[in-house]
Amino acid sequence: MKKYLNITLTQYTFINMDTNQKYNNPSNADIDIIRQQMDILRAKLENQEIVNERIMLSAMKRSMSWIKKYIMFELCLLPVLAILWYGLKAYIGLSWFNYFFLLAMLVVDIYADYRINLHSMSDADYQRNNLIETMRKLMVMKRQRALQMAICMPLLVVWLLWTGVESWVMLSYAADDSFKYGFIQGGLLGGVIGGVIGIYVAFRIYHKMQQTNDEVIDSINSLTAADMGDKA
C-alpha cells in the first residue's frame, strides 16, 4: 500500500510539473492560437463600436427629422390660412393692410424656420468626421431660433390686438345684422382664447426644438469624449 502511494505521488508530481511547465512555457503554437483569439476579439469589439456609432448617428438624424416635418406642415398650412382669413376679412370688413400684414408675417416666419432648421443642416453634418462642425451649427441654430421668437412673438401680439380693435369697430356697422353681430362677438372671444393657446403652443414647439438640439449636442459630446478616451 505504501509502495502504491509512493508511485501515485510520483506520477502526480510529474503530471503537475508537466502542466506547470506547459503554462509557464507555452509553445509557439499556443502563442499563435492566443494571438488569433485576441485578433478575433479585437475585430469584434471594433465592429461593435462602429455599429454603435452608426446607430447613434442615425438616432441623431431621426431626432431632428420631426422639425423638417413640422416645417413642411407649415408650408402646406399657409395657403389654407390665407384663404380662410381672406373669407373672414371679406365678411367682417377687416382692412387689407391687416390681411397682408398677417400673410407677410407668416411667410417671413416660415422662411426663417426653413433657413434656420433645414437649410443650415445637411446629411453630411451627421457623418462621423464632421461632428464638431455639426455641434457648432446646432448651437448657432439655437441662438437664431431665440432671436426669431424674440421678434415674431411681439409682432403676433400686436397683430392680435390690431385685429381685435378692427373687429370691435366693425361691431357698430353690424348692429342691424344680428347674425353678423353675434359672429363678430364670438370671433372676438374666440380670438382671445385662440391667441393665448396659439402663443402657448408656439412656445412649446420652440422649447421642444431647443431640447432636440441639446439632445443631439449631448450625443456628439459623448462620441467625441469616447474618441478622446481611446486616444488617451
Query: 157 Cβ partners below 8 Å, 6+ apart?
Result: 195, 199
Nearest Cα residue to 113 out of 202, 35, 189, 43: 202
The C-alpha atoms of residue 161 and residue 99 are separated, in whole angstroms, by: 14
Task: Dig out the grid coordinates for 85 from the structure.
Answer: 382669413
Tell me 125's DSSP state.
Answer: G
pLDDT in tens, 45-64: 455 554 456 666 666 777 77
Q: Of the ranges 31-35, 60-64, 113-117, which one carries the lowest mean pLDDT score?
A: 31-35
Burial code (b: 16+ CB inside 10 Å, e: under 16) for 128-140 equals eeebeebbebbee
pLDDT in tens, 176-200: 778 888 888 888 888 889 899 999 9
The C-alpha atoms of residue 131 and residue 53 are separated, in whole angstroms, by: 12
pLDDT at residue 19 above 80?
no
